[in-house]
Homo-oligomer: A and B are copies of this chain.
């Protein structure tokens, strides 16, 4: 089992039993999502911005307009913290105090570097695949002008940790006798009914990418 090194920066201090440092767990959490929250510092002020990502090994790719504040700040090679959170359920205990959430989160530390050429093209494909698998091959790919208007950053993971909670609530011994319902209410990000573009030409069927994510094939 390959692990990221535990340091003062990435060590899970609170409830350390929920902490994980192995690649498999951390990459699994990254691969289960496509939206992260990116933290960086500008003039001593922290900023946290939601954005899409893709992964290739220990590299995480972000993209955006060449004009974006986040991308131009990060492109300077400053430290970045990138967090991915999946909420899996509300943990409903008998006491207010023991309420909790089931979740999987990964916190990544590194610095960002702008990438170009083949790596940039592959990164855009990976980000697209992480959002909706198969979509890239269904659409018109980027032309030279669009590539120029897009910046891609690579964050190589220096340190990382995951924190996971699963399972039912844990109540105080004496509270189990209380006539209060306890358990877990699972939560999941679900796709709804696709809404065709009002300008869609007639006779174009729902694509495989959408049918697949909706469990229709």
- Show the binding face of A for B, using Cβ within 8 Å: 9, 13-14, 35, 37-41, 44-50, 52, 64-65, 67-69, 79-83, 85, 87, 89-90, 92-97, 99, 101, 103, 105, 107, 109, 124, 128, 131-132, 135-136, 138-143, 146, 149-150, 168-169, 175-201, 204-207, 209-210, 213-214
Contacts and interface: CB of A to CB of B under 8 A. Distances in A.
Interface centre among A99, A132, A176, A213 (most CB of B within 10 A): A99
Contact of A179 (B13, B149, B185, B204): B204
B181 A169 contact: no
B67 A199 contact: no
Contact of A189 (B38, B50, B143, B188): B188
Q: How many copies does the complex hold?
A: 2
Interface centre among A82, A150, A176, A183 (most CB of B within 10 A): A183
A37 B48 contact: yes
Contacts of A141: 95-96
